[in-house]
Amino acid sequence: MITFPNQKKSKKALLKQAIPKSKEFFFLCCLLLTLGCSSNFDIVEERLYFYDFESDYTNIDSVFVSEFNNTRVLGPFNNSGFSSHWDNLPEHQYIRLTFNLYIHDTWEGNSNDSGNGLLDHDAWMIEFDPHLKVKPHEKVYFETTFSNGPCIPGWCFTQSYPDEFPSNNRARTEANPKDFYGRCLYEDTPTGTSLYRVDKIFPHNKSSVVIAFYDRLKQDAPFDKLCEESWSLDNLTISLIKR
């Protein structure tokens, strides 16, 4: 049974908490602010589910759990991922996702040399209902990149996060300032893993949903792929927002 504890918030409080910085959600910010001008307008956020991945994996496929940072996390993943699927959802207009994302080892962001002479990128994605055949402009989709590479004057392995690819931001932009050792290839490097607290809102109003989290990493180095670079995820909250 799914319970929905009410979390009514003021317009100002929810907007301050929920509005992401990424430019792909600018239209959403404008919509919420416009609707917020009405005195009869309320935003209600209801928590659908919280995963700490210690023991409960309700409606999660591809369950692969490991230990990192003294806690159980989902992953690590490399050219794979997982999805969460839900049916019989109550009325809502948006879905909010918050989670801790660990980026392990040699991610090179927007500047990955794939070995064929052409630059590619280490992509990480969230996609809603990937099984549905819809027009490209109707797809609810967020693609970005992360970089654990150096960023010095004259040279920087840039990343797109917190924006969508192909934006250019400095490596580790908005990462947690705490240092974490790498998971495998950079296990002796105190900055080998970056931690991001991701908070994103997506338009959605259907009664069912599949939310997929996955990557497309480019590698040609003679190392085990999962050891060279990977990602893991923890403390995932899925919330429904209605107005």
Domain with 234 in it: what CATH number? 2.60.120
Residue 39 lies in a domain: no
pLDDT at 82 > cutoff 50: yes
Q: Which is higher by pLDDT, 121 or 111?
A: 121
Residue 143 domain flag: yes
42 pLDDT above the threshold of 50: yes
Q: What is the mean pLDDT of residues 224-231?
A: 94
Is residue 173 domain-resident? yes
**Overall number of domains in the chain:** 1
Average of per-residue pLDDT across 44-49: 96
Q: Would you say residue 11 has pLDDT above 50?
A: no
Dist CA 76 CA 226 (whole Å): 8
Is the residue at 59 inside a domain?
yes
Confidence of residue 54 (pLDDT cuts 50, 70, 90): very high
Q: Does residue 72 form part of some domain?
A: yes
The whole-number average pLDDT for the span 148-156 is 80
Confidence of residue 179 (pLDDT cuts 50, 70, 90): confident
Residue 88 lies in a domain: yes
| Cα separation, 127 vs 71, whole angstroms | 26
* pLDDT computed for residue 3 by the predictor: 33
pTM for the complete prediction? 0.81
Q: Span 24-38, mean pLDDT? A: 51
Output the average pLDDT for the chain: 84
Q: Of 32-46, 85-99, 118-132, 208-222, give the lowest mean pLDDT range.
A: 32-46
Give residue 120's pLDDT: 72
Does any domain span residue 232?
yes
Mean pLDDT of 79-87: 97
Domain presence at residue 1: no
Instruction: Enter the tokens of residue 8.
Output: 């009514």
pLDDT at residue number 10: 44
CA proximity to 76, closest of 224, 241, 220, 178: 224
Domain that holds residue 155: 48-238
